[in-house]
Amino acid sequence: MQIKNVTVAGGGVLGSQIALQSAYCGFNVKIWLRSEGSIERCAPKLDRFAGIYKATLEATKANAAARARGLSDEDATADELDALAAKVDPARQGIVLTTDWDEAFGDADLVIEAVAEDPAQKIPFYEELQKHLPEKAIVVTNSSTLLPSQFAEYTGRPEKYLALHFANNIWQGNTAEIMGHAGTDQQYYDQVVEFAEAIRMVPLCLKKEQPSYILNSMLVPFLSAAEALYANDVADPETIDKTWTLATGAPNGPFRILDVVGLVTAYNIVSMNPQASDPDSTPGKICAKLKEKIDAGKTGINAGEGFYKYR
């Protein structure tokens, strides 16, 4: 493992999680933030996640079902769980938050870009980044919708640039989809796989560039099909979910998944379909149904209600 110094660019929900998880697993971690205001918003997130880590490790002692795959092994003893919990605060405290480009990136082995999902922000970031990076540094993007080939040329090191895509709540949903572009060098891809494993992620390796990666390539058509049944009034969400869970043994049907994804995100995805502007088309009907719920504040589990009620 040649990676020791990890810098996360961006301190949003996922950037904070990636930073803490890397620090928890023994890496030297910095977070680069755009402003002092961003630092003030990021620090409480780190504290909150550190609290969740400790509470989860404590809960695992009494109840194995509480275990988060990113935090402990299945066979960890109570003593081992205590030892892991004791690592959380020092890991949190060790994370350096800075707005200084040279301090953040000057000795980085790996930069994890988690800035806003907007090429107009990512491109200037990469252009400035390369002025401060050492030759050795590998750069990965956590983008979920944009492709590494869109940005490779702006990094100044296309062969050391690829995507490392995390799921939310990475201490639990510990998957990392790893995807290069055509110019990524295999040796750097392999180092990123090794790093993903070192921070307790399950690396999911894509052999080539694929919009939406693996998960969303399946999830989007699956959820769209469920939304179509609902929007065309074939069946109600409860019936559709029951059909899926009973037939496949899955814990959640598509409408429970949509509540987690959030109805605004679902709406944005359907809206991108050119047919969506026709109110008589299926995408148009889906948009109308989702908008009705969004307008009523029922945007999903985080709002307390979406297709289901959560409080």
Q: How far is CA 259 from CA 174, 250, 255, 262, in A?
A: 20, 16, 6, 5
What single-letter amino acid sits at 303? A
Alpha carbons 285 and 279: distance in angstroms, whole number = 6
Our CB check for a second copy shows the closer of 141 and 282 to be 282
Among 47, 128, 145, 222, binds a second copy (CB under 8 A): 222
**Which residues on adjacent β-strands are paired with residue 110?**
6, 138
Among 38, 224, 282, 299, binds a second copy (CB under 8 A): 224
Our CB check for a second copy shows the closer of 109 and 259 to be 259
Binding of residue 174 to a second copy (CB under 8 A)? yes
Q: How many residues bind a second copy (CB under 8 A)?
A: 43
* One character per residue 176-205, x = contact with a second copy (rule: CB under 8 A): -x------------------------x-xx
Binding of residue 243 to a second copy (CB under 8 A)? yes
Binding of residue 167 to a second copy (CB under 8 A)? yes
Closest distance of CB 169 from a second copy, Å: 11
CA nearest neighbour of 170 among 3, 15, 8: 15
Among 35, 247, 272, 274, binds a second copy (CB under 8 A): 247
Q: Candidates 24-32, 218-226, 290-298, 299-307: pick the segment binding a second copy (CB under 8 A).
A: 218-226
Q: Candidates 5-13, 46-54, 57-65, 223-231: pick the segment binding a second copy (CB under 8 A).
A: 223-231
Helices (H), the chain: 13-24, 36-62, 78-94, 101-105, 119-132, 152-155, 186-198, 215-231, 237-248, 254-261, 263-271, 282-295
Among 240, 261, 263, 303, binds a second copy (CB under 8 A): 240
Q: Quick one: angle between helices 263-271 and 282-295, nearest 10? A: 150
Q: Candidates 25-33, 49-57, 118-126, 224-232: pick the segment binding a second copy (CB under 8 A).
A: 224-232
Our CB check for a second copy shows the closer of 249 and 274 to be 249
Alpha carbons 287 and 147: distance in angstroms, whole number = 26
CA nearest neighbour of 253 among 238, 265, 271, 234: 238
Alpha carbons 227 and 240: distance in angstroms, whole number = 9
CA nearest neighbour of 263 among 218, 309, 217, 306: 306
Residues in touch with a second copy (CB under 8 A): 167, 173-175, 177, 202, 204-208, 210, 214-215, 217-222, 224-226, 228-229, 232-235, 239-240, 242-244, 246-252, 254, 257
